[in-house]
Amino acid sequence: MTFDVRKVNDEEFDAWSDAIDIGFLTPQNRGDGPRRRRWFDLDRCWGAFDAGKPVGTLRSIEMELTVPGGAFVPLAGISAVTVAPTHRRNGLLSRMLAGALSASKERGEPLAGLYAAEYPIYGRFGFGAATTTANWHLDARAATFARELPGSVELVDAETVCEEGFKLYDRLRALTPGAVSRPRELWERHLGLVPREGGSVPKHDLYALCRDRDGHVVGYMRYKFDEERWTHDRPDNVVEARDLFALTVEYEARLWKYLADHDWVSEVRAPVMRREDELWRELLVNRRVAWADNQADGEWIRVLDAPAALAARRYEVPGRIVLRVVDKDGYADGTFALDGGPDGATCTATGESADVTLPAAVLAAIYLGGFTAGRFAALGMIDEHNAGAVARLSAMFQTAIAPWSPVGY
């Protein structure tokens, strides 16, 4: 059968938007096209059509990714990917993704990224899992911190958070390899300030800011309480931190303490987008009262322009290495001489013999410093041609602190 894969036009947008909601098992949200349209760039919306009906969807978002060293690198954030169950195994995802990635490379975006709902899909398209994530829990009744924590916490409304949280997050992402930009309009959407037709700004969410002694905002949190629960006539409630950002570990701990200090709360839970290793836990008297579960892959990266991507980041250990990158789709394929260190890097195509050969997906996985080349060499996924090359590659790419992507897309 022949299907049409192309960019979406204005007349098709509402039906294409409904196809997203069906694909994500939220058919109750159909009819949201007019609201959603304000945030979607049609030049980045791809669809698969059968006789004019959308049966596949994919969106690319213009973003920036913070890389080791602090540079902001253009990134195409891949999202809203669906294929109707009636049209699976017809290559529609491959065709939509090829269109979106080719367009991104032509725009000069050296990287693409996404969050994978299903693990096995995206490795075959050259993406590699570059960060990790976990859910975190804190026993509120036993949460005692070893020292006084700085900062004061105040409740605010969503409009204040949209203003102050937006500025705070921009400061945070500059310090956080793996973080992506979140434009103001996405903050409005995230906070529910532009409700669906007939809806209202959500009331179950509460918002808090942490300020330093001079009154500057240094932390932000969005949270909610689960349904009221009592166990053996004792209050046994859970408070969920949906967002929790701060500029330092101590201010982050201050926000966790604020949640744990609520009466009737037995557990603080952060079920989304946390680091696999949370440093604030070390400030507890007993670190065992905080624990992680559901450790998983986080942000996946796809290198589209290897020289541009590799030259953009910094390397904590200086060195020179020649990489042969194998990319069946051609975007990052080639042999490249990388010369980098803490002060900058250059990367150019070369005719030299390679020190190592690695697939594009492995280059993506080690790009942010969260995984070592040695790990993939042990798995037989990197070929070493000169002794010591894998160790040199690991030392150059690894970072002192693991990358983290605080927000999805």
Element containing residue 219 per DSSP (H, E): strand 217-225
What is each CA distance from 101 to 29, 71, 92, 107, 231, in whole angstroms? 28, 22, 14, 10, 52
Q: Is 357 labelled as part of a ligand binding site?
A: no
Q: Is 379 annotated as a binding residue?
A: no
Whether residue 57 is annotated as binding a ligand: the answer is no
The yes-or-no answer on residue 122 being catalytic is yes
**Distances from the Cα of 51 to the Cα of 48, 54, 57, 107, angstroms:** 10, 9, 15, 30
Please identify which of the residues 115, 119, 122, 251 carries the catalytic annotation.
Answer: 122
**Long-range CB contacts (< 8 A, 24+ apart) of 12-20?**
12/47, 12/49, 12/52, 12/54, 13/37, 13/40, 13/42, 13/45, 15/53, 15/54, 16/45, 16/47, 16/54, 16/57, 19/47, 19/54, 19/55, 19/56, 19/57, 19/82, 19/84, 20/57, 20/80, 20/82
Report whether 89 belongs to an annotated binding site.
yes
Residue 91 assigned ligand-binding role: yes
* 409 is known as an active-site residue: yes
Closest Cα to residue 8, out of 34, 38, 45? 45
176 is in an annotated binding site: no
Q: Is 82 part of any known ligand binding site?
A: yes
Q: Is 83 marked within a binding site? A: yes
Instruction: Say if residue 325 carries a ligand binding annotation.
Output: no
Numbered residues of the known binding site: 81-83, 89-94
Catalytic residue numbers, as ranges: 122, 409
User: Residues comprising the binding site for acetyl-CoA?
Assistant: 81-83, 89-94
